[in-house]
Amino acid sequence: PPTRPYPAASLVKVITMAAALDSAPEAVARPCRYVGNQYRLTPKRVDPPRGGNSVSLRKALITSNNQCFAQLAVHTIGAPTLLDAIDRFGWLDAPGPGHAQGVVTDPGDNAFALGRLGSGLGGARITPLHAVSLAAALVDGWRVEPRWIRRITDAEGRELALPPERPRQRVLTSELATELREMLAETTLRGTARRAFRDRRGRSLLQRVKVAGKTGSLNGKDPDGRYEWFVGVAPVDRPTIAIAVVSVQAPLYWVSASQLAAETLKVIFCPKGVCSSAAAGRWSEASPPSVAAIDDGGAAR
């Protein structure tokens, strides 16, 4: 169900990077060192090794390097700043009527727990509406309140007043939002979602429309399976569409969350096989808002 929370996985890395850019931008410019498998985290690996591999944090973001983001959370950001950033993005609230609150565990003084939270290996559960709100904040730094109710009537058909919109909340400066988008554009070009956004001949699936995105994957329970995420915005330079996809995969599966996102964006931006930024206008300017989704049976609605 789209109204319940799921493990946030590496989507947390977007908030971890945002917190670092805001509170310690000089640290983001320094390379990260890690040893062995970049995805494997142990209590010792939350501390930078003396040797090992070296990678920029920009590349660590698009390749979802868990060790680098655990180190960033533990040695640069700290638990209070990271939890404050998570709260600012709305993950502790219910994102909309009928949707569950996010669940985030305070790591306290436990460095390993903080590293797991900052890298996305544990400690955070969110709904897809939380995830798409995170993506929408990358447009201009404002936290977007979702509204999909056009009108309310009582039993006699009389129209009632809609609840007032809450004041918008800024979670990032517009400059930081732009910087994050430019970083995350590499995810679909050279990072963890590059294959999903290319056709069988290796050409860009959306032609000249560029997408900024972040993937996430984590094994979990309730239900058992591999939880896969993709969140993103497009076009990168002037976004009009934010998207979030979550899928729970069985041991055998045929399509990834990134592929589902790419195919949905293709429907939005590429009518009749020609992709353009302007094509999204028929979705973003519709009233009431149109929603592109894929249900369990694979049908678009």
- Reading the chain (301 residues) residue by residue, the pLDDT tens digits are 899 999 999 999 999 999 999 999 999 999 999 999 999 999 999 999 999 999 999 999 999 999 999 999 999 999 999 999 999 999 999 998 889 999 999 999 999 999 999 999 999 999 999 999 999 999 999 998 888 888 899 999 999 998 888 888 999 999 999 999 999 999 999 999 999 999 999 999 999 999 999 999 999 888 899 999 999 999 999 999 999 999 999 888 889 999 999 999 999 999 989 999 999 988 865 444 444 443 443 333 2
Phi, psi of 222 (to 5 degrees): 55, 65
Whose structure tokens read 């009108």? 151
Under 8 Å between Cβ of 80 and 73:
no
Sequential DSSP letters for 15-44: HHHHHHHHH-HHHHTS-EEE-S-TT---GG
Given this model, what pLDDT does residue 155 score?
Answer: 94
Sign of CA dihedral 83, 85, 88, 93: negative
Q: What is the DSSP letter of 297?
A: T
pLDDT confidence of residue 301:
27
How far does CA 52 lie from the centroid of its chain?
Answer: 29
List helix spans (H) across the chain: 12-23, 25-28, 57-62, 66-72, 79-88, 111-119, 128-140, 174-189, 257-269, 281-284
Token match 């001949």: residue?
201
Per-residue tokens: 249: 């995969």
The amino acid at residue 297 is G
Helix (H, G, I), strand (E, B) or coil at 238: coil
What is the torsional sign of CA 290, 92, 82, 215?
A: negative
Q: Where are the beta strands (DSSP E) in 134-286?
A: 142-143, 152-153, 159-160, 169-170, 212-220, 225-234, 241-249
What pLDDT is stored for residue 144 in this prediction?
A: 85
Amino acid letter, residue 59: K
Q: Tell me if 93 sits within 8 A of 102, measured CB to CB.
A: yes
* Reported pTM: 0.90
